[in-house]
Amino acid sequence: MKSTRKKLIWLALPFLIAVILWFKWGNWFFNPPEPAYIPTSTPSRIMLTWSGNPLNSRDVTWEGDTATHLGILQITNSSFKGDTSIYQSRSKIIKTSGGASAFFKVGIINLKAGETYHYRVANGPYWSEWYYFRIGSSQDSTYSFIYLGDVQDSINGTSGKLFTKAYESRPNAAFMLFIGDMIERPHDAYWGEFFREGGAIFRTTPVIASPGNHEYYKGLFQKLDERWMAHFSFPQNGPPDFLGRACFWDYQNTRIISLDSNGIQTIPSALEQRKWLKSVLESTHQKWIIVIMHHPLYSTSRGRDYFYLRTLFKSLFDQYNVDLVLAGHDHAYGRAMHIPNSNLKNKQGAVYVVTHASPKLYDIGFSVKMDKLASNTQMYQLLDVSNDSIKFSAFTFDGSFFDGFTIHKDATGKKTVTDQAPKNSSSFLRPTKGFIKGSSKKEIEKYNQEMERWEKTRN
């Protein structure tokens, strides 16, 4: 009897695998063909980043057609108008199934803290307009930045309105931070949409980011789109197999560490990032530590659980007193600030935040770990950092204040978190239209019961 059962299992196994592959092939392996594209001869997709010290350097990247092999950057200091410097960049040609583009990158060094600079770029004889940026003051530990989750918009989408609202709220933000999935898929048209939405903001405010799964080509082993490395000039201080993806930036009193969670595809790749993260945390002397990664340790979405990320990284976050872990991927908002520290139960651990800016909406799972939840809305976040606090504020698409908290840290390193969130609103907890359309009456009833139970414990 047992041998017959085993035979049946072995006979059924290939059939089950075939069925799973049939239904999941598109999600796991299929890359839609990239439509043909022709880049412009004039400089486009101009972006500010930095790979060195943010108080004395900036990197500028841009794109053009393949006819030009030399890019030029001209820069002048506002204090010395007419006195300009010229930088040159050889083109890097990236070919895809849809076409080819030339990418240019210039690292500007020896800039002065507190100064404003004007710059423009050229592909051969074709010049851009003049843009400007300001270098922060080395004497001021207070600064702000903008945090945006998954953008993942359609062509001519609406996420750019969120960029603008966030920027108007913090026009002097030191940088914009993206958490991956800035594009729907690795196609030129979607990269173009991301830059259209960013507009002039990307040319005046530096961008830092962590890659998401939508910047990768699907496959048994996923591959990052080469255009990621061409657009984002980031520090090359990560583990060897993740240069420019896993890295860290030091800005004023803060160390920001990016992990490439989608790049964790094998046990060796997981251990490589963990080993590197441990060494970076051990050498951190900044007062604040912020980790950014696309996939969250604690999910907001129904049916999702990233237990392997908790296994890899949470003990390190606790051991080295990470303050904030910012993530995306789940297309809903969630904030957890009472996760126990695995080393010291009475010690305040990291605050975990998941958010998104995409018009695509996922339904929330009512985890008891979450202090605040929201679906049915897009969000942007503003963070104000000082020597003794980080103030976090989240806003909905219409600019309404939704969530807020402040992390306080005294001279001894003791942390406390103050909650400034308004009362939870049921309108942000209801199932999405897609869930209602695709679910049975029983499933909807179960959802509503979970919502009511969670809401009672939070209000």
**10 Å Cβ neighbour count for 350?**
24
On whether residue 34 sits in a domain, the answer given is no
- Quote the strand ranges of 282-360, DSSP E: 288-293, 324-327, 333-336, 351-354
CB 277 within 8 A of CB 316: yes
* Listed residues 106, 134, 162: the one ending a domain: 134
**Do 100 and 193 have their domain in common?**
no
**Do 127 and 147 have their domain in common?**
no
On whether residue 449 sits in a domain, the answer given is no
**Do 315 and 221 have their domain in common?**
yes
On whether residue 443 sits in a domain, the answer given is no
**Do 427 and 301 have their domain in common?**
yes
The predicted pLDDT at position 340 comes to 83
**Do 149 and 93 have their domain in common?**
no
The predicted pLDDT at position 20 comes to 46
**Do 314 and 230 have their domain in common?**
yes
The predicted pLDDT at position 370 comes to 92
**Do 346 and 423 have their domain in common?**
yes
What are phi and psi for residue 136, nearest 5 degrees? -65, 165
**Do 107 and 147 have their domain in common?**
no
Q: Each residue of 123-142: pLDDT tens digit?
A: 989 999 999 999 988 777 89
CB 356 within 8 A of CB 331: yes
**Do 256 and 393 have their domain in common?**
yes
The CATH number of whichever domain residue 125 belongs to comes to 2.60.40.380
On whether residue 22 sits in a domain, the answer given is no
The predicted pLDDT at position 2 comes to 57
The CATH number of whichever domain residue 231 belongs to comes to 3.60.21.10
On whether residue 5 sits in a domain, the answer given is no
CB 260 within 8 A of CB 245: yes
**Do 187 and 102 have their domain in common?**
no
CB 117 within 8 A of CB 78: yes
Q: Each residue of 336-362: pLDDT tens digit?
A: 998 888 777 777 889 999 999 999 999
Q: Which residues make beta-bridge pairs with 405? A: 392, 419
On whether residue 445 sits in a domain, the answer given is no
Single out the residue of 434, 433, 436, 429 nearest to residue 452, CA to CA. 429
Could you say which residues of the chain have pLDDT below 50? 17, 19-25
On whether residue 316 sits in a domain, the answer given is yes
Residue 163 in tokens: 């960029």
**Do 186 and 282 have their domain in common?**
yes
**Do 196 and 279 have their domain in common?**
yes
* Listed residues 80, 105, 134: the one ending a domain: 134
Round to whole Å and give the CA distance between 140 and 138.
Answer: 6
The predicted pLDDT at position 13 comes to 54
Q: Each residue of 316-341: pLDDT tens digit?
A: 999 999 999 999 999 999 999 988 88
Please give the tally of structural domains in the chain.
Answer: 2
* Listed residues 134, 159, 174: the one ending a domain: 134
On whether residue 285 sits in a domain, the answer given is yes
Q: Which domain holds residue 113?
A: 44-134
